Amino acid sequence: MAQDNLAWQSKLVLLAVLPFAGTAVLLVSFGWATVSPAVVIWTTGFSALLGLITWKLRAATPAAAATGALITASLMFSTADLPYEPWHTALIPVLVVSMLAFAATRAGRRKKERLGTAEARRGRSAAQVAANLGLAALVASEPVRIWFLNSRWLPLRAHSGMLMQAMALAALAEAAADTVSSEIGQVLGGRPRMITTLRAVEAGTDGAMSAVGTLAGVVAAALVAGAGSWALRGNWSFFGLSCAGAVFGLVFDSLLGATFERKGWLNNDAVNFLSTASATVFVPAIMAFIPHLGVG
């Protein structure tokens, strides 16, 4: 019931992501069309195909699949370069996130159904997709990068392009880590413990973590960060910062769940969106303390 009363937060997440991503895709596609039409064709084609496959696998509703396709296109355009190679864009980490989420959600489904924590068979909603992937698209977009260049973050401006990509990758890795940690923890983690009190609680409790689930989440974060670092041609610092940001976001997600979500102040979509945001903020925060740490 509390989640129903907070449905406006899910709508707010959609409102924050969809108009921005849609406008960015529209404007950037026109720009790329004048330089290299192939970029537009490959980007829209791969994004639409991924959305279609996701819908056909019943991993998402039609609206959610379309939302995911739009976010994927936005991320691909934001990370495209010439000479254009689709596999050297954000398509690769998005694919890894999607595959990990699909596999983890279906692992031990019968046990999750008995616990009452299984995902709906119709798949994820548009708000869930926007909450998990939308922040990455916002951070990687050209308007945000330009804002960053004109901001007062002087020690970090020299790294702006790759830094924004590392921040976006941290958000994607956190989304995968959160999903895998929760889904695998319910199946293999036994009774988890609240992050705030360390009391043993039932599986699926907001703010609870298990050793197995957390380890699975860290592995998922590393896989996404590794795939993204290869695709975006980042160095070891790029990988380390993205992965560290994701792990920070995973812990922050549990803290929000144990406090604001349990009190009925935030719903799950808001928690997921804020957790990916914390992962992105962690990356420049570390670089501010270590300004000589290059990311590309």
The answer to whether the CB of 252 falls within 8 A of the CB of 207 is no
- Give phi and psi for 125, each to the nearest 5: -90, 170
Around 65, how many Cα atoms within 13 Å sit in the side-chain half-sphere?
18
Taking only the tens of pLDDT, the chain with its 296 residues reads 455 688 999 999 999 999 999 998 999 999 999 999 999 999 999 999 999 999 999 999 999 999 999 999 999 999 999 999 999 999 999 999 999 999 999 887 777 767 666 666 678 999 999 999 999 999 998 888 777 777 665 455 545 678 889 999 999 999 999 999 999 988 886 788 999 999 999 877 889 999 999 999 999 999 999 999 999 999 999 999 999 999 999 999 999 999 999 999 999 999 999 999 999 999 988 887 776 666 66
Q: Which tokens in the block code for residue 96?
A: 């890894």
Q: Give the global pTM.
A: 0.93
- Sequence-ordered list of residues with C-beta below 8 angstroms from that of 108, at least 6 positions apart, any chain: 183, 186, 187, 188
Residue in 69, 71, 90 with CA at minimum distance from that of residue 80: 90
Bridge partners of residue 22, in order along the sequence: none
pLDDT of residue 110: 75
Q: What is the pLDDT of residues 184-230, one digit of tens each?
A: 988 886 788 999 999 999 877 889 999 999 999 999 999 999 999 99
Question: What residue ranges do the domains of the chain occupy?
Answer: 2-289
Residue 275 has what pLDDT? 98
Contacting residues for 93 by C-beta, under 8 A, at least 6 apart:
169, 172, 173, 224, 225, 227, 228, 231
pLDDT at position 291 is 64
Look at residue 71 in the predicted model and tell me its pLDDT: 97
pLDDT at 13: 97
DSSP state of 267: -
- Round to whole Å and give the CA distance between 95 and 102: 10
29-50 exposure pattern, b = at least 16 Cβ within 10 A, e = fewer: beebeeeeeebbebbbebbbeb
Which among 238, 196, 197, 248 has a CA at the least distance from the CA of 218? 248
Task: Please report the pLDDT score of residue 152 as a whole number.
Answer: 65
What helix, strand, coil percent values describe the chain, rounded to 5?
75, 0, 20
pLDDT at 115: 63
CB 22 within 8 A of CB 70: yes
Q: Give me the half-sphere count of Cα atoms (radius 13 Å) on the Cβ side of residue 225.
A: 30
Residue 158 to residues 80, 81, 296, Cα–Cα distance (Å): 19, 18, 11
Say how far apart CA 220 and CA 216 lie, in whole Å.
Answer: 6
User: How far, in Å, are 72, 175, 236, 280 from residue 21 at the CA level?
Assistant: 9, 18, 29, 17
